[in-house]
């Protein structure tokens, strides 16, 4: 019993007025529930869609685990868990890029497209981490943020006007509709991340986004984007039965 109590007291209880910690907690619970939903629904689809649903579940499950750690880190230190957040992103964002390949595979998407998108997403995240946690003084955040933004806009171009867009148009029907919805998630939903980046770093943009609650922006964006991505894929699988 003493061991159980000692484990329970390792992390301080979350204050009732800690709205940032509350978003970590709710994000964890929401993505854990989404993971259970995606994993349990896999058996109702044929092999064509099971991998897509599995990846959707993995995205939210990995995020739920990291949000559990980030909530504890925040409760203990009351500072942004930047390192854990980027570890989460470097695992989940490439998987979100894989979803584009999986839904377009039947239309002729190649692994080359998938790896290009994964590479761009990793560049986006690694350079973002450099600007937010390593080179945090002078022009460092702005320079690394610019490189990260260029990688992001390359992904946006690829899915909206590049080969991924052409494959979706060729597939038509539910696949094209799902692809278009995922494109909007990347264009609008992922835009929350550069806003959060600019809110948490110093640069020419400080007067525009400085002072915004960075962690709340990230937490809400993560929940919407990751769960929403999975639900779009789930809806595609349902409509294709």
Domains of the chain: residue spans and CATH: 15-239 (1.20.1070.10)
* Beta carbons of 59 and 229 less than 8 angstroms apart: yes
Kindly indicate the confidence band of residue 3, based on its pLDDT and cuts at 50, 70 and 90. Answer: very low
Q: What is the pLDDT of residues 151-176, one digit of tens each?
A: 999 999 999 999 999 999 988 898 89
pLDDT of residue 14: 64
**pTM of the predicted protein model:** 0.89
Q: What is the mean pLDDT of residues 185-211?
A: 81
- Backbone region of residue 236 per phi and psi (left: phi > 0; alpha: psi in -120 to 50; beta: other values): alpha
d(CA 241, CA 123): 37
pLDDT of residue 6: 47
**Token output for 142:** 């702005």
d(CA 167, CA 104): 7
* Beta carbons of 228 and 189 less than 8 angstroms apart: yes
Q: What is the pLDDT of residues 14-47, one digit of tens each?
A: 666 788 899 999 999 999 999 999 999 998 888 8
- What single-letter DSSP state applies at residue 109? -
Q: Is the pLDDT of residue 146 over 90?
A: yes
* Beta carbons of 56 and 42 less than 8 angstroms apart: no
* Beta carbons of 117 and 127 less than 8 angstroms apart: no
Q: What is the pLDDT of residues 36-83, one digit of tens each?
A: 999 999 988 888 899 999 999 999 999 999 999 999 999 888 899 999
């Amino acid at each position: 019993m003493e061991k159980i109590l000692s484990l329970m007291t390792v992390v301080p209880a979350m204050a009732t007025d800690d709205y940032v910690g509350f978003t970590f907690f709710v994000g964890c619970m929401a993505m854990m529930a989404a993971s259970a939903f995606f994993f349990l629904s896999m058996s109702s689809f044929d092999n064509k869609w099971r991998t897509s649903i599995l990846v959707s579940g993995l995205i939210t499950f990995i995020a739920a685990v990291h949000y559990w750690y980030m909530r504890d880190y925040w409760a203990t230190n009351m500072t942004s868990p930047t390192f854990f957040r980027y570890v989460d992103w470097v695992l989940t964002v490439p998987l979100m890029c894989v979803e584009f390949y999986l839904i377009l595979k039947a239309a002729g998407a190649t692994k080359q497209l998938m790896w290009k998108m994964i590479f761009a997403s990793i560049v986006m995240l690694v350079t973002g981490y450099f600007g937010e946690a390593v080179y945090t003084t002078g022009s460092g955040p702005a320079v690394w943020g610019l490189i990260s933004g260029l990688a992001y806009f390359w992904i946006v171009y690829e899915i909206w006007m590049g080969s991924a867009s052409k494959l979706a148009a060729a597939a038509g029907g539910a696949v094209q509709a799902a692809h278009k919805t995922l494109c909007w998630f990347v264009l609008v939903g992922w835009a929350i991340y550069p806003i959060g980046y600019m809110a948490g770093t110093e640069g020419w943009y400080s007067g525009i986004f400085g002072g915004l609650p960075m962690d709340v922006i990230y937490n809400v964006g993560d929940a919407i984007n990751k769960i929403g991505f999975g639900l779009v894929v789930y809806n595609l699988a349902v409509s294709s039965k």
